Structure 1
Amino acid sequence: LIDKNDSYLETSASAMFVFGLARGVNRGWIDQDFSYVADIGWDGVLENIDEEGNVKNICVGTGIMPALSFYYKRPVESNIPMGEGPVLRAGVEILQMEKYHELPARAKYDRIIKEAKEKMNQKINNLKYL
């Protein structure tokens, strides 16, 4: 439920949006500045893939139902093929986007800051074990 803040996050639907944005940038259908949005969305998708490559939080098959309450109660599982496909397609488009398109300045800045924070946290964690 994309317009309901109290609904759960679902990985494959997020991947579909990322795919659409990245494909649009790659094909020149939308402005290259949208690569920043696709990149942020991809970071969210990656948060739902564990170290072993399992894709988490995929909603099981869902048809059109008459009540919103039905959608709130749909179970989520890991590694459902219908959810893994969109994740793979989004990943391919993101790789192509990063290979062939210059990221906007804001995206570059955010990535540099994110990497710097990660390195700093690693150094802090290493100090804890000395």
Structure 2
Amino acid sequence: MKFLKIILLFLICIVFHACDTSSFAEIINKTDKEITVEIFYNRSELEKVPGLKSIKPYFNNDAQLINFDSVSMIGRLKINPNDTLIIDSNRGSNPRFKFIRTLKIFADDTIKLNNQNEISKSFKETSPGIFAFEFK
């Protein structure tokens, strides 16, 4: 009977883990030129994260980081041709962009997204849980 309870508990854990979805927001550079991205972070939201030791947001690839101003909370990153930059990830079906106030993208034209609503509208779901802003 004890063995059956352990198996049942294990199966319940698998079911709940399988239902846990994640989403990612990425900027994709499909051009032959480098793109520069400025991310203006929301300090008050970052400070709410429990256990956060450094206010510097996590960047998935330090090779893409040009610089980070910890006073103004502005990260400047580059995206090489045919490369991708993940700017947000979230548990759930949609990215929330909770830590980003403003986003500027410097390509042939400069694109400025002034708030979370504009940012969310600019990213389109390309596959389940993946939202992309593509430059061609």
Fold shared by both chains (TM-score > 0.5): no
Q: Which has the higher contact order (CA 8 A, sep 6+)?
A: 2
- What's the TM-score once normalised by structure 2's chain length? 0.23
Identify the structure with the greater helix proportion: 1
Flag the structure with larger Rg.
2
Identify the structure with the greater strand proportion: 2
- What's the TM-score once normalised by structure 1's chain length? 0.24
